[in-house]
Amino acid sequence: MSLSGAWYLGLAGVVFTIGAIGLLVRRNVLIMFMCIELMLNAANLTFVTVARMLNDIGGQVLVFFVLVVAAAEVVVGLGIVVTNFRRRATTVADDLDQLKG
């Protein structure tokens, strides 16, 4: 039994919505990064689903580029979080303005 592409697109929409709501509601930077990762994974699921529906490999290739962007975002973001945590012992997003030069 195989599910149609609409189910996968619906799941991607739900996961993206959860990530967007979490990003807007939470103030902890680590939680915000996890919500961004949820949103990127929802986009990946959409790309793979559309590529499979169209019998094209382009969407699956695009997923690799999204994964590279996600990895770079995690490296830079966690570096900023660690720097802020060492200075203020908190990971609240409102305290990131203290990192100004």
Report pLDDT digits (tens) over 15-65.
999 999 999 998 888 888 899 999 999 999 999 999 999 999 998 899 999
pLDDT at 92 over 90: no
CA pair distance 44, 66, nearest whole angstrom: 7
The pTM score is 0.83
Is the separation of the CB atoms in 99 and 86 below 8 Å? no
pLDDT at 98 over 70: no
Predicted pLDDT at 48:
94
- Band of residue 67 on the pLDDT scale cut at 50, 70, 90: very high
Instruction: Please state the domain extents for the chain.
Output: 5-99
Transcribe 28-70 into DSSP letters. BHHHHHHHHHHHHHHHHHHHHHHHHHTT-SHHHHHHHHHHHHH
Domain 5-99 fold: Helix Hairpins (1.10.287)
Q: How many CA atoms lie within 13 A of 2 on its CB side?
A: 5
